[in-house]
Amino acid sequence: MKSKRRWQALCFALLAAAPSAALAEDGEQCFLHRELPVERQLRRLSIDLRGTVPDVAEYDAVAGLSALPDALLDEYLASDAFRVQMRRYHESLLWTNPNIALADVNFSLSTVNYDGSPVYFVPGAGKSALYRGGDGTHTCQNKPQDALGYDPVTGFPMTEPMGSDGVGPWFAEGWVEVHPYWEADPAKKVKVCAFDAQATETYTLPPGDPDAGTHSCDHLMATGKAKTCGCGPELSYCMPAGIVQPLVLAALREQVLRLVDEHTDGTQPYSGLLTTKRVHYNGPLAHYFRYHAQRQTLSRTQNEHQPSDGPLPELAFTDVDTWVGVDREAPHAGLITLPAFLLRFQTNRGRANRYRIAFLGQYFQPPSTKDTNCEKEGDDLTRRCVCRSCHVTLEPLAAHFGQFTEAGSMSLHDFAREYPTRKACAKGTAPQNAGWCDRYYVPVSDQTDPDLRTYRLKALQYADDEHPELEPNFEAGPADLVKADLESGRFHEVAIEHLFSYLMKREPNLDPTTSDYEGDALAKIAANFRVHDDIRQAVRDLVELPAYRRMP
Amino acid sequence: MSASRLGSLCALAALAAAACTKEAPSADPQAPWEAPAVAANGETENAPADLGGGALPGPARGVRRLRIDTLQAAMSKVAGNDVYGAPIIWRVNNRDGFSDLAFGKALGRPDYQTSTEESTVSNALYLKFVGDAARDICMQMAKNDMKRSDASRALFPKAPVDGTATDAQVNENLQYLVLRFLGLRVLADDSMVTNLRAVYDAGVSSVSSPNGGEITAAAEGWRGVCVTLFESPLFHND
């Protein structure tokens, strides 16, 4: 009973206390538009700019003041807590937290448990069958490879016959101990099946083979033909997904946030977020792009590092907290060509749409009226009924992202724009691969001779006389898209509108026919923002608006 | 009705009560509102031209509840550190209750994968977890304060908890807590202080003194005040 009575008292007090504060200083009248007490102004500012409340000493420091001092605002805007708030603000705009599979069976490392200790192996059936015969489901045996030895001619690990499965006889090698790249302690080693532990870096196909020549072991195309290829030195080519993937994904997210830091702390112009060629790598990212990205099967995301992505810094995988900045080249443009953005929005249309929402404040909506004089069927969405109302605008925007692969972050800048035949297309990579061609290219019939089908990059499928804007936009890349919006001032106007909503907890009133129209005030702040290009000053201008200090 | 359910209902009702009930008059310049010339009692009277109101300011900033990140930081900051110097946090199975490994995602913190937007309105789930967090943190604050001397205490620095506190000391501590938790500087005779005094008294009377427990009856009273302030809409509104 006592407990219940106590709760009833609590309830009474809570109900009574809450309105009493809101009604203070005005009899018992709850009224609007009252200016906040300076302590509540401080609390509001602290929450918005620092993400937490002030302490009692900070409240005492403003006691008796009629307004918050400028120096306090300066202190908040210069604080590390404001940097963190800007990170959250931009993440809420861009949603850049990719969650994708970075490994597949052909280079991920699984374990088999022998005598209580794990032995690593690559589970890909094709490679396993190449190593051990049978149906490709077998691993090594629980025996050190030293006990079996190596073939003096080929250098392959010696094997022992283990029996037959449904496909045929299979054999098994032993295991070896290797220091893996993901362990910082050089003395620490793990057991790995001897075939998978091979450290060879290249393999050579003999004359007469369609792909005769020397190729890298560290590539997707090395899977089916190269028995001499394993996981490379220190297992660098392979990935224990549970260990490596979370670190790489976290680093991809951090890569965006580091760019946000640079352009919101006042050291770099804010608009540089969309124009800078700068990018930051840490150990896991450098290792992933150096060794793993090019190994991903074509049906998954393609993130192979390209020359235009800039030089990868020499960092060990274990350099998780060491970040090095490098410069990229065209077609890169700020954070909208970082892997986290490209992998979060995996189609060019999705990328253009998010860009339009985040930086132009525009949303696509289907038409509310019936669409007439249009095509009811067909693949061209700029002509199809209903679809065209958005796609006429969207397709030219999406073309700006065409130099990046869809379902991946790889730049296609250095790829041939087209091949005359499918066979020539398949030879675009080595060893030749028709699947590679189908991944990036699409057959396009010649406009004068339908029997001629060239293979063109997918983003250029509709780049023809009827869609003249697509190819120029493709070649110009995202940088030109950004340039136009910076020059028009729209980028800074929309940034101010977003910041207003973030700080004021409501949309601005941009209806000029109403008495509460706020467009003029925002336009003035946006015009200044365009000149100083410093988001901290823009935030200062917004929180100094009278509306920010008032009760609703 | 259990205490927790009653608490949740009570907090829900309090949030609703916090919303001001009087709406701003329309400011449409095209159709100015005309005061009726006949009063409710049927007598004719002349109303002042502007009803004494003057010009209406433009719309103010909106009010939303704290985001989960901010709530997590704010509760911990208000709670201060324990006697070992570690921040006091809401502990759930040895984890921070607001973390994504506990209830962070359930409370709506977006991960930009499965959720991309954080709703900044209160709902029953939010109130329930806030109540849980408040009770846990306030108990930690009270227990840690019992091991500290007066001035270094977070929850009752202005009033002793050995049963000797005067009314003035209790009221001074209540004023201190209202400032610490809500950022409001109120007078000792403010209705907020008098109402919280009732909470304090209810807490004190709910346990016997001495009770042999870790906290005294007075500290139990302050724990109740602490929970009340953490559950106040004024704590959750920015």
Q: Name the residue range of residue B225's domain.
A: 3-9+65-236
How far is the CA of B211 from the CAs of B162, B206, B223, in angstroms?
12, 11, 16
How far B26 CA sits from the closest chain A CA (Å)?
10
B111 touching A (Cβ < 8 Å): yes
B146 touching A (Cβ < 8 Å): no
- The pLDDT > 70 percentage for chain A reads 93
* Segment A60-71 mean pLDDT: 95
Q: Tokens 């992202």 appear where?
A: A401
| Contact between residue A308 and residue A353 where contact means Cβ atoms under 8 Å apart | no
pLDDT band at residue A368, thresholds of 50, 70 and 90?
confident
How far B42 CA sits from the closest chain A CA (Å)?
26
In a domain, residue B126? The reply is yes
pLDDT at residue A200 above 80?
yes
Helices first, then strands: H and E counts in chain A: 18, 13
In a domain, residue B47? The reply is no
User: Are both A58 and A118 inside the same structural domain?
Assistant: no
The region that residue A234 occupies, defined by phi over 0 for left and psi between -120 and 50 for alpha, beta otherwise, is: left
Structure tokens at B158: 């202005």
In a domain, residue A304? The reply is no
Note whether B202 contacts A5, CB cutoff 8 Å: yes
- The pLDDT > 90 percentage for chain B reads 63
- The pLDDT > 70 percentage for chain B reads 76
pLDDT band at residue B9, thresholds of 50, 70 and 90?
very low
* ipTM of model over 0.95: no
How many residue pairs bridge chain A and chain B with CB atoms within 8 Å of each other? 199
In a domain, residue A273? The reply is no
User: Are both A153 and A229 inside the same structural domain?
Assistant: yes
Question: Of how many residues is chain A composed?
Answer: 552
In a domain, residue A334? The reply is no
Return the residue in A4, A7, A542 with the most chain B beta carbons within 10 A, the one to mutate for interface testing: A7
- For residue B8, what are the contacts with CB-CB under 8 A and spacing of at least 6? B124, B127, B128, B131
User: Are both A464 and A382 inside the same structural domain?
Assistant: yes
pLDDT of B6: 41
In a domain, residue A362? The reply is no
By CA distance, what is B120's nearest residue in A? A505
- For residue A469, what are the contacts with CB-CB under 8 A and spacing of at least 6? A396, A399
- Per residue in A347-361, pLDDT (tens digit) is 999 999 999 999 999
Domain limit, last residue, from A472, A497, A512: A472
By CA distance, what is B67's nearest residue in A? A51
Write the DSSP string, A231-290: S-GGGTT-B-HHHHHHHHHHHHHHHHHHHHHHHHSSSS-GGGGGT--EEEE-HHHHHIII
How far A36 CA sits from the closest chain B CA (Å)?
10
Domain limit, last residue, from A67, A82, A97: A82
By CA distance, what is B116's nearest residue in A? A95
Q: Name the residue range of residue A452's domain.
A: 369-472
How far B140 CA sits from the closest chain A CA (Å)?
18
Structure tokens at B217: 């009856």
Residues in chain A closer than 8 A to B190 (CB atoms): 20, 24
- Per residue in A267-300, pLDDT (tens digit) is 999 999 999 999 999 999 999 999 999 999 999 9
pLDDT of A42: 97
pLDDT band at residue B36, thresholds of 50, 70 and 90?
low
- In degrees and rounded to multiples of 5, residue A157 shows phi and psi of -60, 135
- Other Cβ atoms closer than 10 A to A353: 19
| Contact between residue A203 and residue A229 where contact means Cβ atoms under 8 Å apart | yes
- The pLDDT > 90 percentage for chain A reads 81
A-facing residues of B in 39-78 (CB < 8 A) are: 56-64, 66, 69-70, 73-74, 77-78
Low-confidence winner among A64-78, A203-217, A462-476 (lowest mean pLDDT): A203-217
* Segment A222-230 mean pLDDT: 83
pLDDT at residue A186 above 90?
yes
pLDDT at residue A427 above 60?
yes
Note whether B60 contacts A32, CB cutoff 8 Å: yes
pLDDT at residue A422 above 70?
yes
pLDDT band at residue B157, thresholds of 50, 70 and 90?
very high
Note whether A16 contacts B58, CB cutoff 8 Å: no
B175 touching A (Cβ < 8 Å): no
Residue type, B221: G
**How many folded domains does chain A comprise?**
3
pLDDT at residue A33 above 60?
no
- Per residue in B10-21, pLDDT (tens digit) is 444 444 444 333
Note whether B199 contacts A54, CB cutoff 8 Å: no
User: Are both A204 and A141 inside the same structural domain?
Assistant: yes
In a domain, residue B18? The reply is no
Residues in chain B closer than 8 A to A552 (CB atoms): 20, 59-63
What average pLDDT does chain A have?
91
In a domain, residue A477? The reply is no
User: Are both A125 and A186 inside the same structural domain?
Assistant: yes
How far B155 CA sits from the closest chain A CA (Å)?
12
Higher confidence at residue B26 or residue A417? A417
**How many folded domains does chain B comprise?**
1
Residues in chain B closer than 8 A to A506 (CB atoms): 59, 61-62
What average pLDDT does chain B have?
84
Note whether A30 contacts B22, CB cutoff 8 Å: yes
Give the C-alpha separation, A476 to A472, whole Å: 6
pLDDT at residue B110 above 60?
yes
Nearest CB among A7, A92, A516 relative to B3 is that of A7
pLDDT at residue B2 above 50?
no
In a domain, residue B125? The reply is yes
In a domain, residue A164? The reply is yes
A-facing residues of B in 73-102 (CB < 8 A) are: 73-74, 77-78
Give the C-alpha separation, A314 to A332, whole Å: 22
pLDDT band at residue A516, thresholds of 50, 70 and 90?
confident
Q: What is the pTM of this model?
A: 0.87
- Per residue in B44-73, pLDDT (tens digit) is 766 555 555 666 667 888 888 999 999 999
